[in-house]
Amino acid sequence: MLKPGKNNAKLGGKIQKRKWKGLPIYSLTLEERASCPTHCEQWNNCFGNNMPFAHRYDHTHPDFIPMLENHLQTLLKKHTEGVVVRLHVLGDFYSTDYVEFWRRQLAKHPNLNAFGYTHHRATDSIGKRVNALNTALPDQWRIRFSDDTSQQFRSEVLKSNQTNQIICPEQLGKTASCATCGFCWSSEKPVVFIEH
């Protein structure tokens, strides 16, 4: 379920700089739209539209959470120094219980770290829980709010009038991958992505 980042050129295998330097990246991919909030600004332009061969996990399967927990335990035994999980290459946080699952895993495994993006608003029930983890566990949990301009710790699609924000260096060809950059989990500035 948790795929090595080295198999994804954009992610990269091992973090080279900033927070979490030296830790391997793994990723989790859920079903886009099926797990996403329907107000997502990228609903019709989803990154998943260009990923027909991605292996998506069905969060509604009764064994999804037990299997994910088992995979996390196995991975963290293998990498005692720690891992970083990219949530989610596709998909999103689908319930408050799912966010709670990640809170329990972070408490249980101090060597577990996670970064990613959500299209939930920081004011909805799921977004509040995600944001509470950003505040409570900033050394382990860095989830940006996509297109939620009320949040400083956010990401959004590039617009011509944006200032004081970081345009994704990987998209600009200024760095090889997320692993060689680290802005998304280390900088408090908004990160802007070129529309895909």
Q: What is the pLDDT of residues 143-161, one digit of tens each?
A: 999 978 777 778 877 766 6
Share of the chain above pLDDT 90, in %: 71
Q: What is the pLDDT of residues 93-146, one digit of tens each?
A: 999 999 999 999 999 999 999 999 999 999 999 999 999 999 999 999 999 999
CA distance 32 to 137: 26
Q: What is the pLDDT of residues 105-116, one digit of tens each?
A: 999 999 999 999
The pTM of the full predicted model, rounded to 2 decimals, is: 0.91
Contacts of 135 by beta carbon, 8 Å cutoff, 6+ apart: none
Dihedrals phi, psi of 115, to nearest 5 degrees: -140, 165
pLDDT value of position 128: 96
CA distance 127 to 159: 24
Q: What is the pLDDT of residues 22-56, one digit of tens each?
A: 999 999 999 998 899 988 787 777 776 677 778 89
> Domain segments of the chain: what residues?
3-148
Q: What is the pLDDT of residues 14-27, one digit of tens each?
A: 999 999 999 999 99
For the chain, the average pLDDT equals: 91
Contacts of 188 by beta carbon, 8 Å cutoff, 6+ apart: 152, 153
- Token digits of residue 160: 């011509």
Tell the burial category of 72 from Cβ atoms under 10 Å away from its Cβ (0-12, 13-18, 19+). buried
Confidence grade of residue 68 (pLDDT, cut at 50, 70, 90):
very high
